[in-house]
Amino acid sequence: MTGSGSLPTPHPDPADAVGPVGTAGPAEAVRRTVIVSGVASDSHTWNLIYLQMLVEELGYDVVNLGACVPDDLLVRECQARRPDLVVLSSVNGHGYQDGLRVVEKLRAIPALGETPIVIGGKLGVRGAESQERVGRLLAAGFDAVFDDRADAVVAFRGFAAVLPGRAVGGLL
């Protein structure tokens, strides 16, 4: 700022701050926001902390809603924050049932219609999910399903790396 009464130069539109995938625009790069959440029936937290750290490593800001998140709270937070990605996690084996229910509520909100929503973890009590059940989760509105398989973390990282307007400055 120079001289009396001068106003600072306004910052450019944040939407213009990110260039093509993997490149930053102006000096201030926009960090994308990801909501990480447990499902209503799952009280585990270690998985959510792990996911938060993984997603932050990829260059995103994370809002971790924690465990036992009621569907309505998740919906309200997603409406208010308009995240670039929603990541749901379950390790109690009931993620399939909870996921089907909550993704329907999230997809009913027009503003979240294009928001990528994924679910992962131990989604059923039998280990890795069948293709039929994964197909049902995808048909219900999830963009990807990362069930209880050894390569789930690698697959998730790959998914996050190709998101439109992905975070800048993250590790891949």
Q: Domains of the chain, with CATH numbers?
A: 24-161 (3.40.50.280)
pLDDT at 29 over 70: no
Across the beta sheet with 33-38, what order do the strands follow? 61-64, 33-38, 85-90, 117-121, 144-146
pLDDT at 68 over 50: yes
pTM: predicted TM-score of the whole model, two decimal places: 0.78
Band (pLDDT 50/70/90 cuts) for residue 61 is very high
Tokens read off for 15: 């939407």
Cβ pair 95, 125 in contact under 8 A: no
| Residue % of the chain over a pLDDT of 70 | 76
Residue 59, Ramachandran bin (φ over 0: left; ψ between -120 and 50: alpha; else beta): left
Give me the mean pLDDT over the 45-57 stretch: 95
* Residue 148 confidence (pLDDT): 83
The per-residue pLDDT of the chain, averaged, comes to 82
